[in-house]
Amino acid sequence: MRSRHMSGAGWRRAPRLLSGVLAAVLAVTACSGDEEAPQPSPDDDGGGGSKPTAVWPFTGLPAPGALPAHRAALVKIDNSTSSDPQVGLAAAALVVEELVEGGLTRLAAFYYSTLPKEVGPVRSMRATDIGIVASTGAALVASGAAPQTEARVRQARIETVKEGGPGYHRAGDRAAPYNLFMDLRQLGKAPVMKGKRPAPYLPWGKAKKLTGGKPAKQISVQFSGGSVTEWKWGGGSWRRATGYAAEGDDFTPANVLALRVQVTDAGYLDPAGNPVPESVFAGKGPATLFTGGKAYKGTWRKSGPDGRLSLRSAKGRPMPVPAGKTWIELVPKSGGDVRYSR
């Protein structure tokens, strides 16, 4: 897998790094022994005396019934050439990609049923994360934040785990600040992880209820003039053609959900002097659901940062997301773009 960014001179390819050390790390990555808190299936009304099917909140997949002893964790992961290779994405339940300063993006990865021993590189939080995590009760795992962001996250009553907290460590073979990693197994045992069980993150439903889809085997999501994420459909899942995870450790979702969002100024500059953007994950806007090699257009709505996400088809009907792993793209309405082809 190769990483690509756009510049004025065209596409620039970043080198792919494969590490024997990474392979060893992945070998010890395993399930925490718990599963995501089951929720009633949106496709089972419990009628006829049958017991409603339980599903995991971040995937909509059937749950065997074991309840977790910990809340979910949302880990902020670097998504630049300096992060290569990213560690632990394959174990995530759901991933959100968001715009950050300099036209780059960062990943917000939810972990719940599986808590890997190594996830990272872990980076700082942004105001955008409030809308991503507020409805879940998950702990926000990030290296830190600017004072303005810290104050807003605190006001939103979001639990945070910053550097110095349980599970953090620095890798000796990487340069700072891209050498900070999180042991979610260790964090899962900490008191901070005792909290509420998440409600279903997306409006899960059956694929057969989707109508009007158009063939889509390739997706190009542009966040800025210098950042594009590309996807290819095959073998029942989407794969990033542009990413930084090592072979075998990337997130391969059944669904890619592109949501057009308003981007505002967060009100401060990063150390390099770049304005910090905030993607407002609240309100409403266009949505495109990519699943099963097809694209379904509609709209999204969210009442506020802590509101539940709802989707409607182009005809105004509820648009369900088929059960499975999902990658959400928060695409700027201005300066961003979503394209797809057969």
Select the more confidently predicted residue: 157 or 31: 157
Q: What is the mean pLDDT of residues 98-121?
A: 96
> HSE (CB half, 13 Å, CA atoms) of 332?
21
Query: Mean pLDDT across the stretch 207-219?
Result: 95
Q: How confident is the model at residue 32 (pLDDT cuts 50, 70, 90)?
A: very low
How many CB atoms are closer than 10 A to CB 172? 7
| 185-198 residue pLDDT tens | 999 999 999 987 88
Q: What confidence category does residue 272 fall into, taking pLDDT thresholds of 50, 70 and 90?
A: confident
Question: How do residues 136-167 score in pLDDT, each as one tens digit?
Answer: 999 999 999 999 999 999 999 999 999 999 99
**Long-range residue pairs from 280-285, CB within 8 A, at least 24 positions apart, any chain:** 280/128, 280/131, 281/128, 281/130, 281/131, 281/132, 281/305, 281/330, 282/131, 282/307, 285/259, 285/260, 285/261, 285/333
Alpha carbon distance 226, 115 (integer Å): 33
Is 50 exceeded by the pLDDT of residue 13? Answer: no
Residue 60: band (very low, low, confident or very high) from pLDDT cuts 50, 70, 90: very high
Q: Give the span between the Cα atoms of 88 and 202, in whole angstroms.
A: 22
Binned at pLDDT 50, 70 and 90, residue 51 comes out as: low
Token pair for 307: 């509101």
What is d(CA 199, CA 133) in angstroms, rounded to the nearest whole number?
A: 12
Residue 25 is predicted with a pLDDT of 35
Give CA–CA dist 255/236, Å, rounded.
10
Average pLDDT of span 320-324:
98
Q: What is the mean pLDDT of residues 70-95?
A: 96
In this predicted structure, the answer to whether residue 327 has a pLDDT above a threshold of 70 is: yes
- pLDDT reading at 200 higher than 60: yes
Rounded CA-CA distance 68/201 in Å is: 17
Average pLDDT, the chain: 86
Quickly tell me which residue has 């934040």 as its tokens. 145
* Contact assessment for residue 96 and residue 108, using Cβ atoms and an 8 Å cutoff: yes
From the number of C-beta atoms within 10 Å of its C-beta (0-12, 13-18, 19+), residue 7 rates as exposed
Interval 268-286 mean pLDDT: 94
Share of the chain above pLDDT 90, in %: 77
The model's confidence at residue 9, banded by pLDDT at 50, 70 and 90, is very low
d(C-alpha 41, C-alpha 43), whole Å: 5
> What pLDDT does residue 271 have?
87
Write the pLDDT tens digit of every residue in 224-248. Answer: 998 999 999 999 999 999 899 988 9
The DSSP secondary-structure symbol of 102 reads: G
Cβ 245 vs Cβ 326: under 8 Å: no
Res 49: pLDDT: 42
Which domains are assigned to the chain? 33-44+54-193 (3.50.90.10), 204-341 (3.50.90.10)
92-106: per-residue pLDDT in tens?
A: 999 999 999 999 999
Percent of the chain with pLDDT over 70: 84
Give residue 1's pLDDT: 45
Cβ–Cβ under 8 Å, residues 249 and 125: no
- Mean per-residue pLDDT, 313-329: 97
